[in-house]
Amino acid sequence: MDFLPVSPADMAARGWEQPDFIYVTGDAYVDHPSFGLAIISRVLESRGYKVAMMPQPDYRSCERFKLFGRPRLGFLVTGGVIDTMVNHYTAAKKRRSEDLYAPGGLAGYTPDRAVIVYANRIREAYGNVPILIGGVEASLRRFAHYDYWDDRVRNSVLVDSGADVLMYGMGERVILETVKALEDGVPFHDMRIPGTCVMSREPEASYLTIESAEEVMASRESYARAFKTQYDEQDPVRGHGINQKHGERYLIVNPPAMPLTQEEMDATYALPYTRRWHPMYDALGGVPALNEVQFSITHNRGCYGSCAFCALTFHQGRIVSSRSHNSVISEAKKLTKLPGFKGYIHDVGGPTANFRKPACPHQLKRGACRNKQCLFPQPCSQVDADHSDFVSLLRKLRAIPGIKKVFIRSGIRFDLLMADRSRTFLNELVRHHISGQLKVAPEHVSPRVLEKMGKPRVEVYNKFVEEYKRANEKAGMDQYLVPYYMSSHPGCTLEDAIELALYIKRSGHRPEQVQDFYPTPGTLATAMYHTGLDPRDMTPVYVPKDPEEKAMQRALMQYFNPANRDLVVKALAKAGRTDLIGYGPDCLVRPDDRAQSRQRGNRQPSRTEGRNDRPYRQTTSKGADRHEKRHHTARADHRNR
């Protein structure tokens, strides 16, 4: 198995005079099916197209983009696995010190807003050459969208990049249909291919027309209404195409593409990936992101969890599709033959590991229900929560010679697990598929916040915790739960943050890493953050934006850290909860030691006082950044196309 050409010499060695496509990407070249650039390039190769790879080109001029000459059909452009702004900046808008998708993990290879920069450089180099953009950055910015880093609404990335076609969602079928139209000479403005966007002088008469880019830039109410339509129509079965005017032209967003069939998914993952980073990165130590997924398997796509802060609904969609057992087993057997494999499959997952099929039998015929979620506020009566197919697959993987352990690390929906009357999956998860701790994401405990998040009520999580503990006791094991919580989500007040802090204390958990809400493109929660409205019903939403309040909410989640004491005290005073400053069992901090020492004299501290003096490991900013990146990768799914 060979890598695709990365230089004119590679191209000459294959006897090519001209590539059909030049694939420009903001990530290093890793030929592994967890990376969209690998999948799309291999799909095109399998259909006979000549694809030259141009990873992380020097963007300071257009010269590097002339490396292979003019391609026969056009340029393909992607920012990479993660939106470049999310990859480059923390939620506090501080530049990250590393880039896991670059050689050696070194930051600086890729520009901010890479899709726009790359496409503009290509235009400088070749004028009217066809440019097709795709990947997460293009997909989630396809409409006029709120941009957290600029704190304003920006045009569709198709407009700002000057590209000809934007492909969104899962790209295998979309790229092939678009390329066929390109070869057939179909004008870009006439392309009506599901999963694509184009620009036109006239709107498509059969499509819905939403508020223009100019209107959503001028009015938060208009933005919320436009987003609601976008959100409602994000369905491949019942969804409509959408027109959105930008200046004198219209953005034509064709309906989403249908999910791949199981046969199509199997074919995608059977392509001849080298499963390695390109050797040109060896001297720098390779590409760190591969280490996380090299011995992992993606078995599904899509997510009907519909968390408000997650972009999966807008990118992969709510209808789950999955690979056959034979396909997954075949990949597992390949892993056992790879250099460095030590018997451990690190993950069998996807956006949510324990999803193997659509939420209910109706979704492939009628689409996901409008104005209704499958799992919130509780699982719909039509949801099929049976885990037996996943259990069967995991058992087959465990039986493969050379495999010692099969882990699940990409996250599970504990509410779906609890909806399954059988506890077989939970018991086998505990016995066979956890490496000492299971990461879960209750995110919060306040009913008001959970409602805005679209997450199950805390009672469901508490019941899961109890059953998880019993399953461990039954198996004679002592494995931990690591819950993820989020601060400053739309709807979260200081009172809600204090409620979460009290819950954390009572549960005995001391989170080493916490996450602030990050307003990324394409999510319902980001629309709430920008507008102060819930687009679903246009009701006002409290949005914590003041930096000091955000710092207080974050500090409350680590109330036990002495470095956070002043912020915690200030938060409690502001919320009128100074009763939580003291020595009682629910108190989050003790009174100021200097002020109290005169009153206590030499009195020895009580046992209750000592509860807040237990050792802890302080989260460093580097550790928090790393967790934050993984957290967003898990939600945006770094297996996205």
Sketch the domain layout of the chain as residue ranges. 8-196, 295-558+619-636
Question: Which of the four pLDDT bands, split at 50, 70 and 90, describes residue 596?
Answer: very low
Candidate from 135-139, 311-315, 535-539, 556-560 with smallest mean pLDDT: 311-315
Provide the CA 381 distance to its chain's centre, in angstroms: 28
User: Tens of pLDDT along 474-491?
Assistant: 999 999 999 999 999 999
Question: Which of the four pLDDT bands, split at 50, 70 and 90, describes residue 593?
Answer: low
User: Tens of pLDDT along 600-628?
Assistant: 444 443 333 333 332 222 233 333 333 33
Q: Which residue has the tokens 């990461």?
A: 439
pLDDT at 429 over 80: yes
pLDDT value at position 602?
43
Rounded to an integer, what distance in angstroms lies between the CA atom of residue 589 and that of residue 559? Answer: 7
Going from the C-alpha of 586 to that of each of 552, 606, 612, the distances in angstroms are 18, 15, 11
Candidate from 63-67, 144-148, 217-221, 312-316 with smallest mean pLDDT: 312-316
pLDDT at 55 over 80: yes
User: Tens of pLDDT along 238-297?
Assistant: 999 999 999 999 999 999 999 999 999 999 999 999 999 999 999 999 999 999 899 999
Rounded to an integer, what distance in angstroms lies between the CA atom of residue 215 and that of residue 335? Answer: 52
Going from the C-alpha of 81 to that of each of 137, 236, 620, 623, the distances in angstroms are 8, 23, 25, 21
Determine if the pTM surpasses 0.75.
yes
| 387-411 average pLDDT score | 97
Contact 438, 428 (CB under 8 A): no
Q: What's the number of CA atoms in the CB half-sphere (13 Å) around residue 68? A: 30
Rounded to an integer, what distance in angstroms lies between the CA atom of residue 420 and that of residue 30? Answer: 38
pLDDT value at position 512?
83
Rounded to an integer, what distance in angstroms lies between the CA atom of residue 266 and that of residue 23? Answer: 24
Question: Which of the four pLDDT bands, split at 50, 70 and 90, describes residue 514?
Answer: confident
Q: Which residue has the tokens 């979620």?
A: 373
| CATH number 1.10.10.10 given to 295-558+619-636 | no
- Tokens representing 600? 């206590």
The amino acid occupying position 579 is D
- Mean pLDDT, all residues of the chain: 92
> What is the fold of 8-196?
Rossmann fold (3.40.50)
* Angle (nearest 5°) at CA 98 between 406 and 35: 45
SS3 state at 167: strand
Question: Which of the four pLDDT bands, split at 50, 70 and 90, describes residue 234?
Answer: very high
User: Tens of pLDDT along 432-448?
Assistant: 999 899 999 999 999 99
Q: Percent of the chain having pLDDT more than 90?
A: 90
Terminal Cα distance for the chain, rounded? 22
pLDDT value at position 397?
98
